[in-house]
Amino acid sequence: MGNATDHLWMHFTRMASYREGEVPTIVRGEGAYVWDAQGRRYLDGLAGLFVVNAGHGRTELAEASAKQAAELAFFPLWSYAHPTAVELAERIAALTPGDLNRVFFTTGGAEAVEAAWKLARAYYKRIGKPTKHKVVSRFIAYHGTSMGALSITGLPGIKSDFEPLVPGGIKVPNTNFYRAPEHGDDIEAFGRWAADEIARAIEREGPDTVAAVFLEPVQNSGGCFPPPPGYFERVREICDEYDVLLVSDEVICAWGRLGEYFGAVRYGYQPDIITTAKGLTSGYSPLGAMIASDRLMAPFLGETGMFAHGVTFGGHPVSCAVALANLDIFAREDLTGHVRANEAAFRATLEKLNDLPIVGEVRGDGYFYGIELVKDKATKATFDDDESERLLRGFLSTALFQAGLYCRADDRGDPVVQLAPPLIAGQEQFDEMEQILRAVLVEAWQRL
């Protein structure tokens, strides 16, 4: 094997940081663990990238892939169908809430988000509201890196190199109650305020210009912000009032991450579109989907109607076969039920870390948690850019990995450690995460 830095251009990677050291090279996975080229074992505390929900080393998923590739490796969904896509669309439609019965396959999450924005625009043009084209999303939220998805993304740091972006992206506050700018003593009032900010943004822009609101059930970037009670109920009312589509971006939150097949089900709201990817195949093959309500497809069903959008590998036969086998595992092992049965134990284990002076808050739901790090618990004072650089990039990420835990130390909002293990994880893995985090966070505090 050659040197990883010679030709491989890694994603979201400071390539210069590997001038001296070796690039960590992962060669094998089994269950909740992965091994590197030196044979060292790591707990996969992030399920790859919120992806490997059924766990590593599932030979039946590999076999489903090989069987399908031998039979029909590829055929496009452009005016043609193939059996695995037909069957998978049916399976997905049966699991989605309400009338989300139309499944448009993509290769991944950003493409699903891109397809949803394009559908929203095309839909409103077709029903005689052609000026509705803008999208509301939340600060610090990540929705993907393609030019449309990047315009919906609320992270300034990953946008500046690529501006000007697609016009029409509008940003509103997120649901970070720990740093609530209003109603910091009342979570329901805070949720109402945050939802009403969406209505105020729509009013400012003009309701006849806004097509959709894109929200994750639990916002990932910034470190796992769950919705306050009543938040989504209010957002749904606002979307109905202004005739705006509610898009539930579930690239991470679907497929058991929150203990249900979809986060919208967990929090009891009805989206008009769900975007998803990642855990749909547990990462064994790339696949994403935009799932739309029957109502949104209706204008495209006339004699010459067409949604003029597509991607070559969307609904790839092999990926669809893998997804079907993955959903078989979910059903057979009741992975969503496993998450619901164990989430309280996962939370309680991580909350033990609250006794550390560097831990400001432990937050999340299901198997999806963020631990926000602070300089001062009492004042919630956060780290400046230089401290964050030294703490997260200079020490934490590497130290956690060397201690045997793969997770994410992220400073795209306030500094946070994120955990989202495979859904097969149990108490043994929770304890291992807590012990490694404790040792490394104690050392991080001493280094400050």
DSSP state at residue 17? G
SS3 397: helix
Question: Residue 247 forms beta bridges with which residues?
Answer: 214, 273
Q: How far apart are CA 415 and CA 45, in angstroms?
A: 17
* Nearest alpha-carbon partner for 423 in 343, 347, 359, 358: 343
Q: What is the structure's pLDDT at 213? A: 98
pLDDT tens digits for range 149-177? 999 999 999 999 999 999 999 999 999 99
Tell me the Ramachandran region of residue 282: left when phi exceeds 0, alpha when psi lies from -120 to 50, beta otherwise: left
Tell me the Ramachandran region of residue 25: left when phi exceeds 0, alpha when psi lies from -120 to 50, beta otherwise: beta
Over 273-340, what HEC string results? EEEECHHHCCCCCCCEEEEECHHHHHHHCCCCCCCCCCCCCCCCHHHHHHHHHHHHHHHHHCHHHHHH
**Mean pLDDT, to the nearest integer, of 89-106?**
98
Q: How many CB atoms lie within 10 A of CB 427?
A: 11
pLDDT band at 144 (very low <50, low <70, confident <90, very high): very high
DSSP state at residue 413? S
pLDDT tens digits for range 402-416? 999 999 998 877 899
Q: What is the structure's pLDDT at 393? A: 80
pLDDT band at 249 (very low <50, low <70, confident <90, very high): very high
Percent of the chain surpassing pLDDT 70: 100
**Mean pLDDT, to the nearest integer, of 415-444?**
97
Residue 102 has pLDDT above 80, yes or no: yes
Prediction pTM value: 0.97
Q: What is the structure's pLDDT at 333? A: 98
Q: What is the structure's pLDDT at 390? A: 86
8 A C-beta contact, residue 397 and residue 28: no
Q: What is the structure's pLDDT at 1? A: 64
170: part of which helix (H) or strand (E)? strand 169-172
Question: Residue 371 forms beta bridges with which residues?
Answer: 362, 417
pLDDT band at 145 (very low <50, low <70, confident <90, very high): very high
Residue 3 has pLDDT above 90, yes or no: no
pLDDT tens digits for range 324-354? 999 999 999 999 999 999 999 999 999 999 9
When the pLDDT of each residue in the chain is averaged and rounded to a whole number, the result is 96
Residue 2 has pLDDT above 80, yes or no: no
**Mean pLDDT, to the nearest integer, of 95-101?**
98
